[in-house]
Amino acid sequence: MTDTRISPARPRTASPAARAVRPGPRERGTRLLAAVFLAPTVVGIVVFTVVPIVGSVVLSLFHWNVIDPPGFAGAANYREAFGDSTVLVSFRNTLVFMVFAVAAQLLIALALALTLNGRMPAWLRSVFRSAFFFPLVLSAASISVVMKYLFNQDFGVVNWLIGLFGIAPVPWLTSEHGAMATVVIVYVWQQFGFSFLLFVGGLNNIPKEIHEAAALDGATGPRKHLAITLPLLSPTLLVASVVGIINALQVFEQPYVLTDGGPGDSTRTVVMVIYEKAFEQLRFGEASAVGVLLFVLIMAVTALQFRLSRRFVHYQ
């Protein structure tokens, strides 16, 4: 704890001081150091991400089934993708999934973090924190196999459990809405711990004096949270939602194992479609085209978030 003092006010770009000094050995030294420090990351990214992405973009302009030599297709793969109802449905599913999953993930995490922030013995707090983080250490594929047992309509533990409260069995995996709900639940179950820890950290960083000042002004309970805590937490909310959305838009394992995209197309996500087109149907060009579209979508959503954040996020 001693190492992590956070000083609240911080200018946006680093070291204007360095710039004030006239160009000299120090500045050159800084640049050299930056180059050395960045080299492993940037070289790695160029070789193992940028080159493959460029490869995919090029591939999206070709017809290629892996076996025969590729043939130039121009925009045909994109036209095909836009004309394919499965592709369009998968984008809709992914967005619906993203909205529900991220909202649920953030709300649950925030509620738990705020509740945990109240008075409580330290050991108990630690137990809860561990419990909420725990699902994150499991493999999504294995846990989805387990969840498939638990959510079985006729024999699963979940329906037995809600049956105790007199609720009729829900067709979790075998109806369209049920399947989407199940995928969201299983995903959120595993992921909320991450946002939770972010919020715990964010709350810890809110200076105590602010709470006390608010209390003197008569703000208590939920009102205090809305008026004071949330704005102070908004930078954390931004980080949690950006990472949450980027991950949610790439969801694959949970629907793949739980529902295989069904019933119908109701839980088929974009990444599933990419996988199916490439590795099941041997249409690598079209798969790449869909991949490029997804990439553009994620970039757009993220850019939009940062733009909106200028209005809603308050830095201390």
How far is CA 223 from each of CA 196, 215, 230, 235, rounded to the nearest angstrom? 21, 11, 10, 20
Which span sits near other proteins by CB under 8 A: 71-79, 97-105, 219-227? 219-227
Q: How far is the CB of 276 from other proteins (least distance, A)?
A: 7
Interface with other proteins includes 73 (CB under 8 A)? no
Which span sits near other proteins by CB under 8 A: 71-79, 97-105, 172-180? 172-180
Q: How far is the CB of 181 from other proteins (least distance, A)?
A: 14
Largest separation between any pair of C-alpha atoms in the chain: 77
Interface with other proteins includes 20 (CB under 8 A)? no
Binders of other proteins among 226-255, rule CB under 8 A? 235-236, 239-240, 243, 246, 249-250, 252
According to CB under 8 A, which one of 76, 96, 263, 305 is a site residue for other proteins? 263
Interface with other proteins includes 312 (CB under 8 A)? no
CB 85 within 8 A of CB 316: no
Give the number of other Cβ atoms within 10 Å of residue 286's Cβ: 26
Closer to other proteins by Cβ: residue 75 or 130:
130
Cα gap 176→186, rounded to integer Å: 16
Interface with other proteins includes 287 (CB under 8 A)? yes
Closer to other proteins by Cβ: residue 74 or 222:
222
End-to-end CA distance of the chain: 21
Binders of other proteins among 90-109, rule CB under 8 A? none
Which span sits near other proteins by CB under 8 A: 71-79, 98-106, 167-175? 167-175
Cα gap 15→21, rounded to integer Å: 11
Q: Where are the alpha helices (DSSP H) in the chain?
A: 16-20, 25-45, 51-59, 76-83, 85-116, 122-133, 140-150, 157-164, 176-204, 208-216, 221-224, 230-248, 253-258, 270-275, 284-312
Interface with other proteins includes 168 (CB under 8 A)? no
